């Protein structure tokens, strides 16, 4: 255990924890916005997989990472429109439609991968973007300022999302339609339009989260996300629908994962123990959720379709 | 906008017809509003008042008819169209977002600032100005969930004034207010008509209608059945126009010899769902042949009191005695066995199961005993006999015994619940808001049933927000405020003013 508690290992662990937290954070921030508008999307995992494949395939073909990222986001937007039509225009049951989106994403991303690529060809991974001056700082620089671009994007999105929800007209509309859509409607706020916008932004971020995962690993395979999207949904509850607390949850999860990886690398845990410890992030999340979330702050209209005149 | 003089026609709705599956909700209704007046729409539940106003506000589309606003034909197909024309509406159920502040609720939909910024500073300033001008006190930074109902009502009105509506529809705005709050509301409303606005007032409280209205239009079954002004009519007259026959507004009370003490509550303490004190050191007793009314604004512990008596809620301390037996914290079934029946305030949540048939709801109390069931098997012939008898005895209007209860009107569902509760021949009856939201005809009938029970030596605890009801039926009146008994008086000593002050928490000097 003593080999874990050296400065260099700890610094590396924190740096990798932040990196591992990034896809969770992106997806969870998007889901936060969607849920604040009253729409639950259990299909985050599926959208992430499609976004991941889109980003991977585009980068493989064009060798342009930025194009990959944009395609990932674009796929998220398309899925957002689709989910909006299903849940808003057709008022389908949100829990079930989300599971449908997940299964679709899981199957379709693998189908495309098998037919278009076949064998897992590696692509260029996202390169580190060293922030001038700040990355020079001892330890701190390595932890925070030698990350890839999407890490910075994700963490800058935390205050941005807070501002969007709490300090803009759009955010006020989102909060209103997520709590009391009837009241918003009676004041001329379009419930559907507001929810469409929130869902589309949310899904775009899920697509981006998938892209971040694929481009960071430089690979795609069946079920690449392996539960990331579901954890992200749990983090929204864990974070009580507030971007800063969602970030805390994502970081907590990333740190635990990074620690487990580090222990495995250092041989502190081995074999069956390693497998058991590897489950700990998920177990810890559930345990914390049980204690933390008493559904305080849940948008009252979450999962409730709005039907005027009813 | 300033071209209308007081008395000029502002809104004209002509020949409005609206059909719902199986119902003609509005049948060629004509209705107009003039600048500077209060025009009341009066009618029973389901008479079509709300439908007509929802058409005006763009929530429903009429099949036929035209709407003219300020002399121009208009097409209102959504609330935002209505808002653009300067039409505002205060809905029966508050349209407020509880997790937002007053200022945020007011600003919602206004698009103050640009799309990407939201500066509530000017909004708050304007709210303070208007508060002053209309004597309408609201605190811009308070969250809605922190406010009492009366304050929420003021926020609703603030929303309308802030948008500078020229026509405001108020759908039963006084339903949840104390008499004093109603007076304050009327002051504000007169301030609004004074500045040339037109108001539509929807209510079924006849004395308020007589008080506030300039003109009155009465609807019944979707049609206009009367049109009058307060000076030319009376409450009895209005009730007759609403119901279509003569109505007894005050129940016939006969002298009844008061019997033994049947319900006794001693030092009762009960907690609310949130664990805060809901009923505090409450003492009250009801004798056979006596109605004790509990007056108070909803949410002051009445529900918790009723539930504690009937075994539905845990009693923290104190005692409940039924016919001299201590039934504190007995199970609901045991309490019923001791002779208590309960008509709950939330009829569709606690009183009846909507998806069940009329017969199924009627046997909920005694389905586990002969003759209704035999060794766990329901006896349909016996059920049929018992239920047919109850339905006819209590005048429940239902097509068949197999009709789903949810398709009956509120008044008939209430009669069904009362029929079931009285089928066990109780000695103590707890009746919570027995006629709330019930049409006048059914209310009249329910009152007569309660009076019959009183004559039969039943002890009745009547919990009601409707002061006319409490004063009309009770022998003694208790006033409840924040879980405490404010005062207990004989009916002869009660006046609306006195009860109103007590309901608002103003304690009296002990005499």
Give pLDDT, residue B354: 87
Which of A168, A176, A190 comes nearest B108 by C-beta?
A: A176
CA neighbor of A192 nearest in space, from B26, B80, B304, B444: B80
Residues of A in contact with B79 (CB under 8 A): 185-188
pLDDT over 50 (residue B106): yes
**C-alpha distance from B347 to closest chain A C-alpha (Å):** 19
Phi and psi angles of residue B14, each rounded to the nearest 5 degrees, phi first: -125, 130
Q: What does the longest C-alpha to C-alpha distance in chain A come to?
A: 66
Nearest CA in chain A to B118: A168
Contact status, residue A204 vs residue A212, Cβ threshold 8 Å = no
Nearest CA in chain A to B86: A187
Reported for B15-19, long-range contacts at CB under 8 A and 24+ positions apart, including other chains, are B15/B64, B15/B65, B15/B66, B16/B52, B16/B55, B16/B62, B16/B64, B16/B65, B16/B67, B17/B62, B17/B63, B17/B64, B17/B65, B18/B48, B18/B51, B18/B52, B18/B55, B18/B60, B18/B62, B18/B63, B19/B63
Residues B220-241: pLDDT tens digits?
Answer: 989 999 999 999 999 889 989 9
Nearest CA in chain B to A173: B108
User: Which site among B108, B113, B115, B158 would you substitute to test the A interface, given the most A Cβ atoms closer than 10 Å to its Cβ?
Assistant: B108
Nearest CA in chain A to B119: A167
- CATH number for B9-243 (one of 3.40.50.300, 3.40.250.10, 3.40.190.10, 3.30.450.20): it is 3.40.50.300
What is the mean predicted confidence (pLDDT) over B111-119?
Answer: 65
Which three-class secondary structure string do you get for B164-210? CCCEEEEECCCCCCCHHHHHHHHHHHHHHHHCCCEEEEEECCHHHHH
Domain that includes residue A78, residue range? 7-292
Does some domain include residue A58?
A: yes
Residues B321-331: pLDDT tens digits?
Answer: 999 999 999 99
Among chain A, residues having any CB pair with chain B shorter than 8 Å are 167-173, 175-176, 179-180, 182-190, 300, 308-309
User: Across the interface, do B117 and A169 touch by the CB < 8 Å criterion?
Assistant: yes
Q: How far apart are CA B154 and CA A280, in angstroms?
A: 52
Which three-class secondary structure string do you get for B54-80? HHHCCCCCCCEEEEEECCEEECCCCHH
Q: Which sign, positive or negative, has the C-alpha torsion B82, B84, B89, B95?
A: positive
User: Which site among B61, B79, B97, B170 would you substitute to test the A interface, given the most A Cβ atoms closer than 10 Å to its Cβ?
Assistant: B97
Which of A168, A173, A180 comes nearest B96 by C-beta?
A: A180
The contacts of residue B379 (CB under 8 Å, 6+ apart) are B370, B371, B372, B373
Residues B290-315: pLDDT tens digits?
Answer: 999 999 988 899 999 999 999 999 99
Nearest CA in chain B to A177: B97
User: Across the interface, do B97 and A175 touch by the CB < 8 Å criterion?
Assistant: yes
Residues of B in contact with A170 (CB under 8 A): 115-116
Residues of A in contact with B104 (CB under 8 A): 172, 175
Q: Name the CATH architecture for the domain at B261-503.
A: 3-Layer(aba) Sandwich (3.40)
User: Across the interface, do B60 and A309 touch by the CB < 8 Å criterion?
Assistant: yes
Instruction: For residue B216, give the H/E element and its range.
Output: strand B215-220
User: Across the interface, do A309 and B100 touch by the CB < 8 Å criterion?
Assistant: no
Q: Which sign, positive or negative, has the C-alpha torsion A21, A24, A27, A33?
A: negative
**C-alpha distance from B396 to closest chain A C-alpha (Å):** 27
Residues of B in contact with A242 (CB under 8 A): none
**C-alpha distance from A47 to closest chain B C-alpha (Å):** 27
- ipTM field: 0.82
Name the strands in the sheet holding B23-34, side by side, starting at the edge strand that comes first in the sequence: B23-34, B9-20, B64-69, B72-74
Q: Which ranges of A39-180 would DSSP assign to H, the alpha helix?
A: 44-62, 65-84, 94-116, 140-144, 149-167, 169-179
User: Across the interface, do A172 and B113 touch by the CB < 8 Å criterion?
Assistant: no
User: Across the interface, do B97 and A183 touch by the CB < 8 Å criterion?
Assistant: yes
Residues B409-448: pLDDT tens digits?
Answer: 888 999 999 999 999 999 999 999 999 878 888 889 999 9
What DSSP string runs through B228-263? E-GGG--HHHHHHHHHSS---SS----------EEE
Which of B97, B105, B118 comes nearest A169 by C-beta?
A: B118
Contact status, residue B55 vs residue B16, Cβ threshold 8 Å = yes
Token output for B500: 């109103």
The contacts of residue B241 (CB under 8 Å, 6+ apart) are B42, B218, B220, B225, B226, B228
User: Across the interface, do B83 and A187 touch by the CB < 8 Å criterion?
Assistant: yes
How many cross-chain Cβ pairs, A to B, lie less than 8 Å apart? 79
Q: How far apart are CA A240 and CA A165, in angstroms?
A: 14
Nearest CA in chain B to A188: B80
Which of B59, B95, B113 comes nearest A183 by C-beta?
A: B95
Q: Is residue B344 helix, strand or coil?
A: coil
User: Across the interface, do A183 and B116 touch by the CB < 8 Å criterion?
Assistant: no
**C-alpha distance from B144 to closest chain A C-alpha (Å):** 12
Q: How many domains does chain A have?
A: 1
Q: Which residue has the tokens 């026959």?
A: B245
Give pLDDT, residue B116: 60
Give pLDDT, residue A293: 59
User: Across the interface, do B108 and A172 touch by the CB < 8 Å criterion?
Assistant: yes
**C-alpha distance from B133 to closest chain A C-alpha (Å):** 23
What is the mean predicted confidence (pLDDT) over B92-114?
Answer: 86
Does some domain include residue A237?
A: yes
Average pLDDT, chain B: 91
Instruction: For residue B38, give the H/E element and its range.
Output: strand B38-43
State the pTM of this model.
0.80
Length of chain A, in residues: 310
Residues B343-386: pLDDT tens digits?
Answer: 998 888 889 998 899 999 999 988 888 889 988 899 999 999 99
Q: How far apart are CA B208 and CA B202, in angstroms?
A: 10
CATH of residue A156: 1.10.3470
**C-alpha distance from B97 to closest chain A C-alpha (Å):** 5
Burial (CB < 10 A; 0-12, 13-18, 19+), residue A50, is buried
Fold match flag (B9-243 vs B261-503): yes
- Confidence tier at B249 by pLDDT (50, 70, 90): confident
Instruction: For residue B302, give the H/E element and its range.
Output: helix B302-309
Q: How far apart are CA A101 and CA A86, in angstroms?
A: 10
Which of B79, B80, B107 comes nearest A172 by C-beta?
A: B107
The contacts of residue A89 (CB under 8 Å, 6+ apart) are A192
Give pLDDT, residue B146: 86
Beta B315-322 vs B325-326: how paired, if at all? Answer: antiparallel
**C-alpha distance from A143 to closest chain B C-alpha (Å):** 33
Map out the domains of chain B as residue ranges: 9-243, 261-503
Q: Which residue has the tokens 């977002």?
A: B97
Residues of B in contact with A167 (CB under 8 A): 117-118
CA B79 to chain centroid: 25
Does some domain include residue A238?
A: yes
pLDDT over 70 (residue B192): yes
Residues of B in contact with A241 (CB under 8 A): none
Q: Is residue A81 helix, strand or coil?
A: helix
Burial (CB < 10 A; 0-12, 13-18, 19+), residue B351, is buried
User: Across the interface, do A308 and B59 touch by the CB < 8 Å criterion?
Assistant: yes
**C-alpha distance from A268 to closest chain B C-alpha (Å):** 48
Give pLDDT, residue B117: 67
Give pLDDT, residue B1: 46
CA B335 to chain centroid: 28
Which of B80, B98, B159 comes nearest A179 by C-beta?
A: B98
Q: Which residue has the higher pLDDT, B393 or B135?
A: B393
Which of A168, A175, A186 comes nearest B117 by C-beta?
A: A168
Residue ranges in chain A whose pLDDT is less than 70: 1, 292-296, 309-310
Q: How far apart are CA B140 and CA B258, in angstroms?
A: 53
Token output for A132: 């001038």
What is the mean predicted confidence (pLDDT) over B24-37?
Answer: 94
User: Which site among A177, A179, A187, A242 would you substitute to test the B interface, given the most B Cβ atoms closer than 10 Å to its Cβ?
Assistant: A187
User: Across the interface, do A179 and B91 touch by the CB < 8 Å criterion?
Assistant: no
Q: Which residue has the tokens 């009329």?
A: B358
């Amino acid at each position: 255990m003593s080999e874990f508690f050296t400065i260099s290992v700890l610094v590396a662990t924190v740096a990798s924890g932040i990196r591992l937290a990034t896809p969770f954070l992106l997806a969870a921030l998007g889901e936060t916005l969607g849920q604040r508008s009253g729409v639950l999307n259990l299909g985050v995992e599926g959208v992430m997989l499609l976004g991941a494949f889109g980003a991977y395939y585009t980068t493989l073909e064009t060798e342009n990472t930025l194009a990959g990222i944009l395609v990932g986001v674009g796929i998220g937007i398309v899925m957002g429109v689709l989910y909006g039509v299903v849940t808003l225009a057709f008022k389908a049951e949100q829990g079930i439609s989300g599971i449908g989106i997940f299964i679709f994403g899981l199957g379709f991303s693998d189908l495309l991968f098998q037919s278009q690529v076949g064998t897992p060809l590696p692509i260029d991974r996202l390169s580190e973007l060293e922030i001038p001056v700040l990355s020079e700082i001892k330890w701190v620089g390595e932890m925070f300022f030698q990350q890839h671009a999407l890490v910075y994007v994700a963490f800058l999105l935390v205050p941005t999302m807070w501002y969007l929800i709490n300090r803009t007209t759009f955010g006020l509309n989102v909060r209103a339609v997520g709590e009391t859509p009837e009241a918003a409607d009676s004041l001329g706020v379009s419930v559907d339009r507001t929810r469409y916008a929130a869902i589309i932004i949310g899904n775009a971020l899920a697509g981006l989260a998938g892209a971040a995962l694929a481009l960071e690993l430089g690979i795609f395979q069946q079920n690449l996300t392996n539960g990331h999207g579901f954890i992200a949904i749990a983090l929204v509850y864990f974070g009580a629908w507030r971007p800063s607390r969602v970030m805390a949850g994502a970081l907590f999860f990333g740190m635990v994962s990074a620690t487990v990886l580090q222990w495995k690398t250092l041989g502190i845990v081995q074999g069956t123990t390693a497998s058991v410890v590897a489950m700990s992030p998920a177990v810890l999340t559930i345990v914390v959720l049980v204690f933390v979330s008493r559904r305080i702050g849940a948008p009252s209209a979450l999962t409730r379709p709005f039907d005027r005149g009813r | 906008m300033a071209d209308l003089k007081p008395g000029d026609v502002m809104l004209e709705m002509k020949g409005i017809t609206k059909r719902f599956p199986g119902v003609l909700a509005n049948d060629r209704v004509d209705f107009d509003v003039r600048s500077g007046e209060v025009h009341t729409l009066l009618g029973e539940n389901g008479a079509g008042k709300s439908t007509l106003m929802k058409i005006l506000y763009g929530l429903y589309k009429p099949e036929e008819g035209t709407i003219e606003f300020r002399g121009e034909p208009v097409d209102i197909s959504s609330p935002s169209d209505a808002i653009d024309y300067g039409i505002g509406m205060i809905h029966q159920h508050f349209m407020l977002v509880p997790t937002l502040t007053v200022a945020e609720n007011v600003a919602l939909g206004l698009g103050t600032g640009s799309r990407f910024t939201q500066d509530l500073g000017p909004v708050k300033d304007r709210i303070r100005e208007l508060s002053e001008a209309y004597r309408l006190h609201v605190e811009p930074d308070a969250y809605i969930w922190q406010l009492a109902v009366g304050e929420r009502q003021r926020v609703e009105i603030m929303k309308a004034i802030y948008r500078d509506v020229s026509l405001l529809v108020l759908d039963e705005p006084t339903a949840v207010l104390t008499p004093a709050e109603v007076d304050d509301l009327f002051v504000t409303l007169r301030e609004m008509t004074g500045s040339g606005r037109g108001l539509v007032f929807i209510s079924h409280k006849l004395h308020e209608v007589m008080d506030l209205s300039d003109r009155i239009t009465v609807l019944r079954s979707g049609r206009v059945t009367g049109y009058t002004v307060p000076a030319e009519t009376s409450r009895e007259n209005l009730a007759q126009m609403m119901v279509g026959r003569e109505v007894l507004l005050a129940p016939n009370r006969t002298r009844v010899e008061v019997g033994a003490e049947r319900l006794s509550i001693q030092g009762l303490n009960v907690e609310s769902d949130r664990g805060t004190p809901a009923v505090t050191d409450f003492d009250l007793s009801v004798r056979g042949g006596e109605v004790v009314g509990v007056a108070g604004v909803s949410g002051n512990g009445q529900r918790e009191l009723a539930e504690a008596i009937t075994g539905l809620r845990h009693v923290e301390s104190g005692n409940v005695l039924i016919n001299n037996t201590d039934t504190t914290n007995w199970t609901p079934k045991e309490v019923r066995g001791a002779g208590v029946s309960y008509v709950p305030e939330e009829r569709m949540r606690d009183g009846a199961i909507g998806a069940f048939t009329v017969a199924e709801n009627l046997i909920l109390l005694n389905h586990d005993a002969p003759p209704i069931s035999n060794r766990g098997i329901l006896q349909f012939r016996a059920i049929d006999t018992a239920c047919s008898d109850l339905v006819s005895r209590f005048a429940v209007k239902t097509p068949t015994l197999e009709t789903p209860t949810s398709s009956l009107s509120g008044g008939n569902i209430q009669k069904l619940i009362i029929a079931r509760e009285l089928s066990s021949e109780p000695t103590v009856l707890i009746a919570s808001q027995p006629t709330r939201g019930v049409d006048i005809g059914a209310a009249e009938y329910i009152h007569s049933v309660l009076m019959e029970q009183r004559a039969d030596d039943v002890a009745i605890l009547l919990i009601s927000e409707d002061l006319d009801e409490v004063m009309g039926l009770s022998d003694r009146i208790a006033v409840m405020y924040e879980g405490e008994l404010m005062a207990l008086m004989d009916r002869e000593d009660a006046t609306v003013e006195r009860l109103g002050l007590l309901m608002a928490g103003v304690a009296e000097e002990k005499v």
